[in-house]
Amino acid sequence: MSTPADEESGCDISSLLEMLETVPDPRKVRGKRYKLKFILAVSLVATLAGASNFRQIRDLAADMPPSLLEKLGGKWCYFRCGFGYPSERTIRRVVQGIDAAALDRIVGIWLLRRARRGRDGVLALAIDGKVVKGAWTDDNGQFTLFSAMLAREGVTVGQVQVPADTNEITQVEVLLMQVPLPRGEPVVVTMDAAHTQHDTAEYLKGTRGFDYVMTVKGNQPHLLDAVFTNCLPLLRNTPDHTVEEQGRGLVKRWETWITDAAGIDFPHIKQIAAIRRNTYTTSGTWIHKEYAWIVTSGEATTITADHIHSHIREHWGIENKNHYPRDVVWREDAQQIYTGSSPQVLATLRNLALGLFRLNGINKIKETTEWISRNQNRVLPLLAT
């Protein structure tokens, strides 16, 4: 009869190691003691066990069972009479010098190939930026990472650093160029109101052929006024789609109306929509009401009121499924790490760790990292994804 240890030792992690081996190694051959893929694999395992900085990565590496170090590509050290592991200084120096953009691209491609497709075969991609508050650029500016996440799966498949002299609005093309989205497969890109720009809409639909779902706010006053004016008469009618949910002592009802965008000047626009969210107590007392105004390039046959509701709510999963756990589980904003590629590389390792969790149906991230830290061999089934 096999034991859990037997099952873990039989896990094939060669795909992950082969992926890490393709990351360019900036070091010179002379004096190189550990392979780059081994250092990255050890750092990933430590991240999956909850490590949030270089010292914690080294400490967890020191506690790794010899069988795990060997499986990750470690070499036997005759002086230690065991498998060697990199020191904190080695990990720090290597991470600082890695081509972070290349690592992001390689990891994103690997995760995208393993992700399941969503409803109706449509790939829903949410894009959003995150300021890493503990890190700074060389010019003492904010360090911002701009990410693309599969909205339903919660898997980040692309990430770029936003240059200090610009903002994330200008980086949509740069970000999506590194995500190898399959040809011929329907793609819907969702974003917050900051990205509701003519150039972005033209690039998404006109250049790439992707449909967009954008929220309209005060940064586009003429568009907002046009959408509001056209949607207002609809609000007197029965909603095209309604969802009601109860939790934490509150009842929330989302009502969605959708209509064509005739007469509205915006690139490739086909439909506009309004979402009204009412919040009640469980006894029926009304508490709060808010509206969201939406534009989309999707035809009525492919994007309905049901789709609009799902896309808008799933878009904020990038906050709940990526940004929030990076801050809470790994304390990303509290880490004063800013030298070289360190902030972006560590963020990429956290994205990869979250991707492995999500692909295996794990949503209790903090609890799982603590469970792995008590026995790091438990990480092997995740690495074999």
Q: Which domains does the chain have, with CATH numbers?
A: 4-100+339-383 (no CATH), 118-322 (3.90.350.10)
Alpha helices per DSSP H over the chain: 4-9, 14-21, 36-48, 54-62, 66-71, 88-97, 100-114, 172-177, 198-201, 221-231, 305-315, 317-318, 324-328, 342-359, 365-374, 380-383
Give the count of alpha carbons within 13 A of 305, CB side only.
18
Would you write out the chain's pLDDT as a tens digit for each of its 385 residues? 334 454 566 789 999 999 999 999 998 888 788 999 999 999 999 999 999 999 999 999 999 999 999 999 988 877 677 788 999 999 999 999 999 999 999 999 999 998 865 557 788 999 999 988 877 666 656 789 999 999 989 999 999 999 888 889 999 999 999 988 877 789 999 999 999 999 999 999 999 999 999 999 999 999 999 999 999 999 999 999 999 988 888 999 999 999 999 999 999 999 999 999 999 988 888 888 999 999 999 999 999 999 999 999 999 888 889 999 999 999 988 877 767 888 999 999 999 999 999 999 999 999 999 999 999 999 999 999 8
Torsion angle of the four alpha carbons 277, 283, 285, 286, in this order, in degrees rounded to the nearest 10: 0
Residue 130 burial (C-beta neighbours within 10 Å; 0-12, 13-18, 19+): buried
The tokens for 359 are 């692909």
HSE of 186 in the Cβ direction (CA atoms, 13 Å)? 13
Task: Read off the pTM.
Answer: 0.91
187-191 and 211-216 strand pairing: parallel
The answer to whether residues 276 and 254 touch, using CB atoms and an 8 Å cutoff, is: yes
Structure tokens at 208: 């790439």
**Residue 345 tokens, joined:** 């590389």
Instruction: Kindly give the interhelix angle for 36-48 and 342-359, rounded to the nearest 10 degrees.
Output: 60
Residue burial 100-124, b: 16+ Cβ < 10 Å; e: rest: bbebbbbbbbbbbeebeebeeebbb
| Closest CA relative to residue 373, chosen from 8, 5, 50, 18 | 50
